[in-house]
Homo-oligomer: A and B are copies of this chain.
């Protein structure tokens, strides 16, 4: 249990996942190289050469079109957001262990009172440095490692963010220092660890109290939770724990273990809860504070037992596993469903180019770099279109799942998912299901216990074609219609019970969409007394209401970093015009204002979506005097947090309270949240509120912090898993007077059919691919992914790093 530092369903399921993925590593034959697809990094060719290459290299008609496409490119500059290479991680770990003042213990040997390394990854560059490098002649930002230490060899255990560098490690110049500047807390990135004693919490506390009521649990559910192999019950509780009046209070609940082979534990609550004061590191000083069953509170175990075995105690049934909780195919086969359904194919292979070494991508006139971190998984950087940067950064910041209920378990649950991290749970994608079989798959890596792991094929890139065109018009003389081919970069992260699919889509009109879809198992509630917090969805089960809110950082740079945000509202108006014969006309008009400062920059989508939010460059007007800009708008249902001033969260997720929040970009405010905000909710490492200190937002470098989200009141249709048809949320960015005409006109994948005198006179195809005249043959049959080759993780390197034997035998680390 040492890998993750919490006890909660997220932690339990997540730990199991991670352990399993490690176990998976142990025995799987490690591949000698990451499985890069569609050309390795050796083939370097600029994207603008590709078209010539295609045309110049066409051979016999037997050539497949896919073969004629070179899908690699070279990034203009090495990726400054690149993950550390395995040997770099290993060298940092080795260096850290050499620093005696850190008093570090190797994870596998560490107990609750030892200091360990929690994280080693690349430190993100400051934007100031990155821009000087990307746009100017500056050298690459000096490379540092961002390290988190889990310092538990103390009465007051704490996590500490530190910087190690410069890299490469050099015993003369490399040093470490506390990392404080990106955090708002007075102690910087130093925050208490409330989970330091999680192992003894189970052995010395939760199972002890599980055993203390074994007579009751046997009577109620024929099961026990005592830490024994034959336990059929589990215990876990709220996250974050209560942090009040200097005390640390937890509520824990009993759950049935699944009996089948599905991950259904979060569907099996049993309705018994107990409260504990677990302040301090000495379990002997912890206090049981009471029991709760059927909305009746019992201050002591004796009181509870007396009542339970008394004559008036009302017992309810148990939620037990079954087919209803398993996601296998069920029911009669639908008509014709065993015929092959429609499928998207890529008959010409990839029409985009990837620098696999630098995680740099070019599609049509877009380009971007990919970064990847433990906390938030994949991020996109330096997103350019038609040669100009649109966004310096577009990245997930945090995901909140805030529950409510009549019971303390649901009421007390407000997961802040970066605590668990999106990176480590971005598993291998299922080809042909999570992404098309023909997609390009990239790897990502993450740090666990002195080792660097790689999830192969955990990021996908692909083109797709919507079922509708992007443009059309029919007249008496012609019909013009254009295909809507778009490009997607995606990763999926399963944080415990929930699977988040993150998609960034790029369209040929210059618009960009950010979407999140959720699936997996809901966390549900015991039904009793929860009528005002959810639907009853199974025998003794309530679909616990919760809000998902996911914050994204959109660091726009519209034609430079001097930007402003214009609000343009459609407002009903009644007005007399020179031509209206003195009568007032009921009509509408536009009202425009600018957001002047951070005093007015936290707000929601307007009712009836009446207000457009446009990021403009006030110095960059187009030829007609309008500001060139990009508009931000909701795409598919976004919400902010329903709860006001949440008792669970206090100051740890202030970013969740509005739809749109805008700040001046600062190197000291790179992230909206810290993964350990849950450890000190009143004074978290990053209190987003503190970003708002009245600074001007006119003609400044701006960051938009945008919330996607969904209210979720699970109903029976969320059993066994939530479906993505409805559990989706998205925002969209679209050009606003940014170009002089629609950019989709540039594609050749349009047609114009002309007719006159009753006949079609010509079909204009603008040079688009024509199979009859082409010297290559499209290959329509899809790649058949071999799902038996699904592997999960590969490649673990460990300190001490031996360049002659880089692939560590993982067996000994778990």
Contacts and interface: CB of A to CB of B under 8 A. Distances in A.
Contacts of A715: 626, 735-737
A172 interface: no
A784 B290 CA distance: 72
A547 interface: yes
Contact of A716 (B430, B640, B741): B741
Contacts of A351: 335-337, 339, 341
A764 interface: yes
A723 B741 CA distance: 11
Given A724-B471, A740-B716, A743-B717, A54 B336 contact: yes
A132 interface: no
B365 A334 contact: yes
Contacts of A27: 757-759
Q: Which of A327, A341, A750 has the most CB of B within 10 A?
A: A341
- The bracket for how many chain A residues form the interface is 35 or more
B335 A47 contact: yes
Interface string A733-766: 0111111111111111111111101111001101
Q: How many copies does the complex hold?
A: 2
Nearest to A17: B476
A199 B23 CA distance: 83
A644 B25 CA distance: 64
A609 interface: yes
A610 interface: yes
Contacts of A406: 577
Contacts of A792: 755
A579 B274 CA distance: 10
Contact of A642 (B18, B508, B608, B624): B608
Interface in A780-804: 780-782, 784, 787-792
Contacts of A438: 342
Contacts of A181: none
A82 interface: no
Contacts of A694: none
A645 interface: yes
Contacts of A402: 588
Contact of A640 (B263, B534, B608): B608
Interface string A506-537: 01111100000101110000000000111111
A720 B742 contact: yes
A491 to B, nearest CB: 12
B411 A467 contact: no
Nearest to A249: B581
Nearest to A606: B607
A173 interface: no
A726 interface: yes
Interface in A530-565: 532-539, 545, 547
Interface stretch (A300-308, A457-465, A696-704): A457-465
A640 to B, nearest CB: 6
Given A345-B343, A494-B474, A570-B547, A747 B337 contact: yes
Contacts of A610: 639, 642, 711
A475 B343 contact: no
Contact of A643 (B342, B485, B586, B753): B586
A147 interface: no
A436 B16 contact: no
Interface stretch (A109-117, A152-160, A376-384, A628-636): A628-636
A738 B717 contact: yes
B476 A760 contact: no
Nearest to A733: B726
Nearest to A512: B725
Interface string A396-414: 0000001010111001000
A476 B20 contact: yes
18 contacts: A48-B335, A263-B475, A297-B579, A342-B346, A342-B465, A344-B465, A344-B467, A427-B479, A433-B469, A434-B472, A474-B499, A571-B642, A588-B642, A610-B711, A635-B637, A720-B741, A755-B790, A763-B790
Given A65-B340, A335-B353, 16 more contacts: A17-B474, A23-B476, A27-B757, A54-B336, A261-B754, A333-B767, A334-B365, A338-B768, A402-B588, A404-B588, A411-B577, A474-B499, A545-B589, A570-B642, A570-B713, A717-B737
7 nearest A-B pairs in the assembled complex, by CB-CB distance: A20-B476, A27-B758, A329-B766, A780-B780, A339-B348, A336-B351, A536-B624
